Structures are given as C-alpha cells and as structure tokens.
Amino acid sequence: MDIYTCYASSADVTALVGTTAGHLGYLRWFFGSTTENGSLLKNSLNANGFTTVPGSWISGAKKLLTTDQKTKISTPGTVKTGCAGIVGAGA
C-alpha cells in the first residue's frame, strides 16, 4: 500500500484516517479495534484465510499516521505536521 503524508484536501485525509463515528476512514477501519470496525475486518480476513495485523504493528501504524508530527497524514500548510510549509490545493 502506498500512502503519502500530505494530501490535497481535508476530504482526502478524512477518507484515510477519519475519526468520527460511522466514518473511520480506510486506515482507521483497517487498523482500528473491533469496537471501531465492528469486527467486520477480522471476520472478512478470517473467512479468506488471513489473520489480523499484530497489535504492536497496529500501535506503531496508528502513531505514524495520526500523531507523529513528521509522518502524520494531513493537508498542505498544516502547522506542526510534515505538511507545514508545503503549498498545495488544500492550503
């Protein structure tokens, strides 16, 4: 999976890491808890012969995608992220 740090609009960021109930965003859904994603991911993976991502990987991925200032997914011009100073459509 290829992802970037800076996206053109807040809608793109929400699609990836949205946090509101009912709209988790793809990465939050995939790496989220069974409470967040209703066990749908776990059930789908298990039904197709796969397993879920180990908990330590999930914690690391969530930190990189949502809290680490250098790697946090955001929109251009966002202060205190890797997108600070970048000019783009979302700025």
Which sequence spans correspond to the domains of the chain?
1-91
pLDDT in tens, 41-63: 889 999 999 988 888 888 888 88
90 pLDDT band, cuts 50/70/90, is very low
Q: What size, in residues, is the chain?
A: 91
User: In the predicted model, what is the mean pLDDT of the chain?
Assistant: 83
Nearest to 36 by CA among 15, 9, 18: 18
Average of per-residue pLDDT across 12-19: 84
What's the helix, strand, coil split of the chain in %, to 5? Answer: 40, 5, 55
Q: Name the region of 39 (left: φ>0; alpha: ψ -120 to 50; beta: rest).
A: left
pTM: 0.63
pLDDT of residue 89: 52
Q: Confidence class of residue 22 from pLDDT cuts 50, 70 and 90?
A: low
Partner residues linked to 74 by β-bridges: 6
